Amino acid sequence: MPRRSTSNRTGSPSGSRTGGSPGPGNSPTPRNRTPQPLPRRRRSFGDFVKAFLAFVALVVLLAGVPYALAVTVGWPFPGGSPSLDWLQEEITVNTFLGVLGVIVWIAWAQFTACVLVEIKAALSGVGMPGRVPGAGPSQLLARQLVAALLLVGATAASLTPGLSQLGNSYDDNQKGTVASAQATPGGSLSGMFAQQQEQAAATAAALGQQAADAASHAEVGGPSVKAEDTKYYRIQPPEGRHHDSLWEIAERHLGDGRRYSEIYQLNKDRVQPDGSRLSEASLIRPGWIMQMPGDARGGDLVEMTGAATPDAGPAVSSQVQQQINAYAKAGGDHAQGGGAEQGSASLDNRTTRISLPQQGPGGSHATPAVQHEQHATASGEVSAESDAGFSFGLPEALVGAPLLAAGLLLALGRRRRQALWQSALGAVGGRRGMEPPTPTGAAADAQDALLIGADPEGVRLLDLSLRGLAASLAEESRPLPTVYAAWLSNGDLHLQLAQPAGRPPAPWQLGQDQTFWLLARTDAERYGDVDTAAPYPGLVSLGTMDDSRLLLNLESVPGIVSLTGSESDRAAVFASVAAELATNGWSDRMTITLVGFGQDLTPLAPSRLRHLDDIEALVETMEAETRQRRGALGAAGHDSVLTGRTGPAQHTRWAPHLVLLAAEPSGEDAVKLAELAADASRLGIGYLVGTESGDLPGAAWELEITGEGKLLAPLLGLELDAQVLPLAQQRAVVELFTAADPERTPDGPATAPPFLVDISEQGRPAVYARLVGPYEIIGLDTPDGERSPLQHEALALLLLHREGVHPRVLASALWPRGVTDDVREALLDRLRVWLGTDPDGTPRLATDANGRLTLAKSVVSDLDVLRSLYHEATQGRGVDSRVVRGRLLTDALALVRGPLLADRAEGRYGWLTHEIIDAQLPLLVADIGLALSEFHLVKNRAERAIEALTAALNSAPGDERLWHELLRATHTTGDTDKLQQLAADLIRRSGARGLPPRTEALLDELLPTWRDGAAAVG
């Protein structure tokens, strides 16, 4: 007969693994500050008494009070239209009683609203209950009464399947509610994150043992699973705000939450009493039946007799008994019908499918091993053995962080361009910094890893999607929903909301439930630029699970996010978070305060990153900022920074402030931080704090980084491959930024071009490519077939990087979406054959000692010649010979036929966005034009100077220096009409921006009447 185990449900079940050192079968469970689910127990007589009294109190307050008021005082509504005579009437006791009666009616209405809000929140189990304005004590009383009533109501619902479904379905076209703890935002995420990758060896061993037990039973003539060995658990309805999850069930009844996948595998795809099936481990519903492993223990388990005919127990209704019996019978049929398939799935490394977010019909359901292999192939990640014998040693931490790599590359490009423009303010001849230094060693490896791993298109789509969502909501006068996390999965964007926020604006769709908003990649690609503030700048990558990448919104966490683990592992996570926040492309402005680490990281973004020496300074700073933000929000009339970002002040206020504290705070400081963080999410402040012990006051979510690179948060259902930035890679990346610092004074002579060619007659190249203007190649036959454009593009990339190009960098540039090794090697073979060899037999495409592809000196581009001519004119032979200088500068300017690769095909050469040649070439052409103009003006050849400046302006029309010299050269001719015409041309080009101040000052000096002409043009 069915019986319930008598062991304490919250205690350590027999057979559970407790104590001892961690091992393969006994891995320690990371601590988490998310409130633990209340232990379930049988209701006592006192519980029923409390529930009855709560029911009586609610009846009296909701029905008795208005009845008494109606009888004694009367209805609060007037019987007719009021007149002004009552203002002149004498104030009597009846007047006071009438006013008092109206006040009581208002208090009753407010209390009734509080009860309705609390009942709705308790039954739905989604999000926190709404706050009734001005109803603090009333809402607290309503909450206590409703909780006391539902304390028994939950037990009653567990005995009635119909009641167990109350409040657990949304629209008919939506799937079941995520079964997750809702007491905190961390609990809200548990439904989203409950499905995680299991340790394959442990799971396979456990399932293999079950298969072996079944086989042994079959050998002796018994059924594959004996009924007396079968235990069942019925998913409980929400208790307060707590929902059942497979992780918690496994933790209570199997002693280890990680064994949830065993329960999932036993019940996967089996028909439940309501007709649905278990397809995702994170999606379970009250009233479902779960078959449990044989070693399960606990007070809520139902064990079946050999006859599988349950006898009614004191807490199990006959209807539940029938459901369990039918489920057990259906389980046998299910095992017979799909046994072969299930058996194969149980005994290999296929443990679970990714369930966050829920895959669509076309989603990938490959095993984790297969998915990893596919991802590695798609991103060009290959082993050293497959790379032609070279062990490149590229930092995979950067290769595997596409959003971080894209942000760092974008910021590095801005820094290098700024250095070039800063250099442009120096002297024309002999100035330093025209050519940025070529990275070497670890810095070169880091740059290659960034080029391989970067996903600028993904960053662009993420930014457009979030801003587009904010703009659409603003048009509908709807506030931004609070977003806890975002998942990027196969190009689709899934936002996890704190609570349902209705239907999203098109083209967004509801996801697996009403707390998920989904935007398909194809819809995101149709978004255009919108003028709105970045809505969720606090999103930052934490890691990946199979092919899905998690971004946590640190700004929205209602409390502290703590991180445990070894000091070096924590530092790697902190550095990754800081670097991505400082350089990401989906935020506008923010402040990132680093404490206990990261002083060397500030060169990445000096305007965003701020380093404080100690926790005391942090507490003092954050106390002042918290007060200021509270006051600013109150004065602006906003509930939170989210509402402020969509209003008129969106571009000037409510930038987030994210605190990254690597040093563990003392007890007193921890309490102060917890108090500050209690209201942080509303104010746009986020805290990530490192700790050794894991016991941190005010920690809403706890994460752990392991020595194997896993980021864990079991009660959130997280087990990710962590995104980290180890110390060696930190230093290499910072070296790239430091070398490009525009304020840094370079040592030694001016930087020479990376490749100087022999510009004499004896230095005629074997292969000459014209890149400045239309792309042409002289000295090679045009390749046949459709592969010709690809070979031309590969050669252009090699010509722009004479220092060498990593094969993986070349592959990622030509195939941004990924390519296999054999395709890449086939292209390199064709390139080698196409370029051929020099007369001495030396191949023109070689591989250096570091494995990088380099071109022979006999393969030259016009850009190489242009740089060499200017270098020779200003730093070589032209310094001592005026005639040589003039000839070299004239030859150089004649090479300029237009912009770089002017006729390149649309959709190709996307890698140029990572280059700074688009800034270098106009500056170089402008310098040549200025130098040649000076050369002619010394001999009073103004017309020749004007010709040189005009030719340079064709390639560098935005260079203000060229316009200034053109104005001066025109002024020396004495032709006022030409000068007036030139001023008018400048005014038309400037448009609504107007002329720069220095240009206006120069015109005032050379042509005082230019403003009259400006008025005529305007």
Look at residue 36 and give its three-state secondary structure: coil
For residues 964 and 230, which has the higher predicted lDDT (pLDDT)?
964
* Encoded tokens for 637: 């009339």
What rounded mean pLDDT belongs to the chain?
76
372 contacts 811 by C-beta, under 8 angstroms: no
Which tens digit of pLDDT belongs to each residue from 870-884?
A: 999 988 888 889 999
Which amino acid is residue 879, in one-letter code? Answer: V
pLDDT band for position 63 (cuts 50, 70, 90) = confident
Are 768 and 778 in contact by the 8 Å Cβ rule? The answer is yes
> For position 308, what pLDDT does the model report?
42
Q: Among 54-58, 257-261, 504-508, 768-772, which is the least confidently predicted range?
A: 257-261
- What is the predicted pLDDT for the residue at 91? 65
CA distance 852 to 812: 14
pLDDT at 637: 79
The pLDDT tens digits of the residues spanning 9-44 come to 333 333 333 344 333 333 333 333 333 333 344 456
Give residue 831's pLDDT.
94
> What are the angstrom distances between the C-alpha of 756 and each of 869, 881, 898, 936?
9, 20, 22, 26
pLDDT in tens, 208-228: 444 444 344 434 333 333 434
At residue 561, the pLDDT reads: 92
Kindly tell me if the per-residue pLDDT of 621 is higher than 80: yes
Please indicate whether residue 704 or residue 1018 has the higher confidence score (pLDDT). 704
Distance from C-alpha of 656 to C-alpha of 582, rounded to nearest angstrom: 12
Q: What is the rounded distance in angstroms from the CA atom of residue 935 to the CA atom of residue 885?
A: 8
Task: Please give the residue that has the higher pLDDT: either 513 or 408.
Answer: 408
- Location of structure tokens 């929000």: 633
> How far is residue 263 from each of residues 250, 284, 352, measured CA to CA in Å?
8, 12, 11
% pLDDT > 70, the chain: 72
State pLDDT tens for residues 549-604: 999 999 988 889 999 999 999 999 999 999 999 999 998 888 999 998 988 899 99
**Edge-to-edge strand ranges of the sheet holding 767-770:** 776-778, 767-770, 859-861
Report pLDDT for 916.
Answer: 87
More confident residue, 643 or 89: 643
Could you write out the DSSP letters of every residue in 400-433? T-HHHHHHHHHHHHHHHHHHHHHHHTS-SSS-S-
Report the range of poorest mean pLDDT among 178-182, 521-525, 636-640, 951-955. Answer: 178-182
Looking at the predicted structure, is the pLDDT value of residue 711 above 90? yes
Alpha helices in 165-239 (DSSP H): 185-193, 200-219
Rounded mean pLDDT, 244-273: 82
Residue 183 confidence class, pLDDT cut points 50, 70, 90 = very low
- Which tokens in the block code for residue 731? 């230093």
The residue that leads in pLDDT, 151 or 235, is 235
Distance CA 908, CA 235 (A): 55
Over range 86-93, report the average pLDDT: 62
Could you tell me which residue, 749 or 163, shows the higher pLDDT? 749
Asked if residues 821 and 807 have their Cβ atoms less than 8 Å apart, the reply is no
Of residues 539 and 270, more confidence is placed in 539
Of these ranges, 379-388, 523-532, 710-719, 731-740, the one predicted with the greatest mean pLDDT is 731-740
Top pLDDT among 75 and 560 is at 560
Select the more confidently predicted residue: 617 or 169: 617
Each residue's pLDDT tens digit, 796-822: 999 999 999 999 999 999 998 888 889
**Tell me: the pLDDT tens digits for 828-862?**
999 999 999 999 999 999 999 888 999 999 999 99
- Residue 86 sits at φ, ψ, to 5 deg, of -65, -20
Q: What is the pLDDT of residues 492-506, one digit of tens each?
A: 999 999 889 999 999
Give per-residue pLDDT as tens, 371-396: 333 333 333 333 333 333 333 457 88
Highest mean pLDDT (candidates 80-84, 646-650, 887-891): 887-891
Q: For residue 8, what pLDDT is reported?
A: 38
Give the sign of the dihedral formed by CA 16, CA 18, CA 20, CA 24.
Answer: positive
For residues 159 and 168, what is the distance between their CA atoms, to the nearest angstrom? 16
| Length, in residues, of the chain | 1018
Which region among 250-254, 375-379, 709-713 has the lowest average model confidence (pLDDT)? 375-379
Rounded to an integer, what distance in angstroms lies between the CA atom of residue 334 and that of residue 347?
Answer: 18
pLDDT of 633 > 70? The answer is yes
Predicted pLDDT at 96: 67
**How high is the pLDDT of residue 969?**
93
In which band, very low, low, confident or very high, does the pLDDT at 729 lie, cut at 50, 70 and 90?
A: very high
Q: What's the pLDDT score for residue 682? A: 87
3-state secondary structure 705-736: ECCCCEEEEHHHCEEEEECCCCHHHHHHHHHH
- Give 440 or 369, the one with higher predicted confidence: 440
- Angstrom distance (rounded) from CA 209 to CA 204: 8
